Chain A
Amino acid sequence: MSFAQILRGSRAMASPKCLPESNYSTSHLRFPRLQSITSKKNSRARGDWGLKRTLPKIKTRYICVRQQDSLYKQADFQSSAKFVRLVRNWFDAGFVRDPSEVALLQELLKETGLKDTRDINKVFSPSKQSDENDNFRRYGVSGGIQYSNVPLINSRVTPNCESNCSNIRRRLTAHIISSDASTAYYGLGGLILRLPRTVVFNRNRSSPLFSQEQRISYTVYKNGRLRLVPFSGPELETHLAYPSEDSEVESFFNRDIQLVAKRDSSLDAPVSYQRGIMKFFMAPSQTSNNEANSSEKDNLSNS
């Protein structure tokens, strides 16, 4: 073979160097622009990465080369472990295509007679719904491990601030202290949030370090939507008894909540209420007692 053919078929020529760079800073880059290069362990020890010149001993395992031969007769290279690790973490997180979206695309393919799912983007442009979670919709994935939901929860919590400084609702940063497996399925009491102090108006009149401790529940639906509800005992019926998804009506989760609500309603609330009224009337004086007795007699006569 001639030198030209060997050069054309070599691996160094096959590595692309075609995406222009505006500047050398790569901390702001969102996607890689140069090929990530690695080498075997023994070759790395000798500094042999397949380039024109050997490189010194470096700790990183993945590099990208801007120039093999610069003006100073050195290889201009830098680490590219950032993107390599990101790709690996993406697969470790277990993201998969949203099944409902895949089914929708299949139906659209049958209706329109197109052959490729990528062609649908040219025909249809779905409008963006406000109630959907942009973080997941952007990537077209659903669910994943709980770790990926942590930054979403931090950015969405907006509890009432019950301090002397102000009664206006405002956005506060919440720190997640603990979570357990029940959160993934029920969304009940899985997280404990502690809201740190944010404002100090006066030296002696500031609120405590932790204004309040609040338990919050969240549910991740199959379409990637996230639902956050501050949880408190007496408000159980108003917050969690009404499902917002059709598939949630007949689910085990909803039945459990309904049972809890019924059990709470069957307690002795009205009797205690009446007893309170009786005590209130009997306390002041004997004449009031007589009136109470007369009222009781009237009730008996009515019945």
Chain B
Amino acid sequence: MPKFNANGLLRSFAAEMKKPWTAESLWYETVAKHPPTFQYARRIVPLYDPNKVKSRGKRLRKSMYQPQEIQWPEDKLRKRFYRDHPWELARPQIIAENDGNDQQYCDWSHMDQPRKALSGESVVQRTLWLIENSNMPVENAYDQARKEFYHLRAEQEIQQRVAHDQAQALGAVFTKSDLELGYEMDQNALNSWFDNASQYAEANRTKFTDPSVDISKTTQ
């Protein structure tokens, strides 16, 4: 028997409706006139891969109705790229959509896109484009896309440094970076430690010195 039986639920609701203190639900009359006739979950059978189903053996019937994992060819390329370049994951990305048509605005015949920031996804899409249009094998297409990515990334860094130098030359004043702030914090910590240590040594001078030795002579 299925775990949830719609007709059984309807019958139990009918019993509840007979009690005088229970109000009638709005949907009860309609559902009572047109009760459900079959299970919807099992009616719709998803398309399944026979190889995956056979590998389960005795659990064939159970796995047949389970939702299957979604897989695309981009997944392997993404996995490989980010395994080779893990620090690309540290560049933050925005995944909140505007209109959901990002792929339509991109032309992957070249790597640089005006409406999309350079990232690992550019390498993946460029690789797919090369595989489809240039009839390249996967290895060569991935290598070419990767080298184009390196070139564009280097250009990007050089442009940033040049812009920074130009801004400074024209009189811009930048705030302190994390490194400078950290350096100042380190110095402040050392200075405060030095002051505390000096006070402690001064207060406990007799503890740390031998009374038989004349301090004034040693200091001279």
Contact = CB atoms under 8 A, between A and B. Distances in A.
B96 A35 contact: no
Main secondary structure of the interface of B (DSSP, over half): helix
B86 A19 contact: yes
Given A204-B211, A209-B201, A147 B89 contact: no
B186 interface: yes
Interface string B166-194: 00000000000111101100100010011
Given A14-B121, A31-B86, A209-B197, A50 B92 contact: no
A18 B82 contact: yes
A61 B92 CA distance: 10
Q: In which size bucket is the chain B interface?
A: 35 or more
Contacts of A209: 197-198, 200-201, 208
A113 interface: no
Interface in A11-67: 11-16, 18-19, 31-40, 43, 48-51, 61-62
B190 A36 contact: no
A33 B95 contact: no
A35 B208 contact: no
Given A11-B102, A50-B94, A16 B178 contact: no
B102 A83 contact: no
Interface residues of A, number: 56
Contact of A32 (B90, B147, B194): B90
B179 A50 contact: no
Nearest to A96: B161
B210 A19 contact: no
22 contacts: A7-B70, A14-B78, A16-B120, A18-B75, A19-B86, A32-B87, A33-B89, A37-B92, A39-B94, A48-B96, A80-B90, A84-B90, A89-B178, A91-B160, A147-B182, A176-B190, A177-B190, A196-B197, A205-B210, A206-B208, A208-B209, A209-B198
